[in-house]
């Protein structure tokens, strides 16, 4: 049986945060792939000279972008951790309520849902 209704907000926030972190990681992969291509071109002849200056400037820009992406991803992962802790607290609260309901049902002599005892 599927649960009905709106999922808890913390689950929505966690999903959004993890998706944003995944997008950031995808961007990092593209950026570092381009960086590697630039490095390979710079060092293809075994030396670095003035003709490699445009590639080195391009590499510098990619390193700056990578640092920015890493900073964003770090922040996203911190939020994901925060949301994960909130999900754990939510689940623990549900578990505690279920255990309390089972104890109360046992004390009152109920072993099943009264609606089903028909």
pTM more than 0.85 = no
How many degrees, rounded to 5, is the angle at CA 52 between CA 45 and CA 66? 110
Residue 116 falls inside a structural domain: no
Residue 117 falls inside a structural domain: no
Residue 24 falls inside a structural domain: yes
How many whole angstroms from its chain centre is CA 34? 24
- Cβ–Cβ < 8 Å for 29, 65: no
Instruction: Report the SS3 class of residue 7.
Output: coil
Task: Please give the pLDDT value at position 115.
Answer: 59
Residue 2 falls inside a structural domain: no
- Is 18's pLDDT higher than 80? yes
Task: Please give the pLDDT value at position 106.
Answer: 84
Backbone angles phi, psi at 5, to 5 degrees: 100, -175
What is d(CA 70, CA 88) in angstroms, rounded to the nearest whole number?
27
Residues spanned by the domain of 70: 9-107
Residue 57 falls inside a structural domain: yes
Length of the chain: 118
Per the structure, the count of domains in the chain is: 1
Residue 68 falls inside a structural domain: yes
Task: Please give the pLDDT value at position 109.
Answer: 78
pLDDT, one tens digit per residue, over 33-48 is 999 998 898 888 888 8
């Amino acid at each position: 049986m599927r649960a009905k209704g709106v999922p808890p907000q913390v689950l929505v926030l966690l999903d959004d945060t993890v998706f944003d972190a995944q997008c950031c990681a995808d961007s990092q992969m593209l950026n570092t792939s381009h960086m590697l291509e630039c490095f390979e071109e710079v060092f293809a002849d075994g030396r670095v000279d003035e003709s490699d200056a445009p590639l080195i400037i391009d590499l510098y820009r990619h390193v700056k972008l990578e640092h920015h992406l890493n900073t964003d991803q770090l922040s996203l992962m911190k939020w994901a951790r925060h949301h994960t802790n909130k999900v754990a607290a939510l689940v623990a609260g549900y578990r505690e309520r279920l255990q309390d309901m089972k104890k109360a049902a046992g004390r009152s002599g109920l072993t099943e849902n009264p609606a089903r005892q028909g």
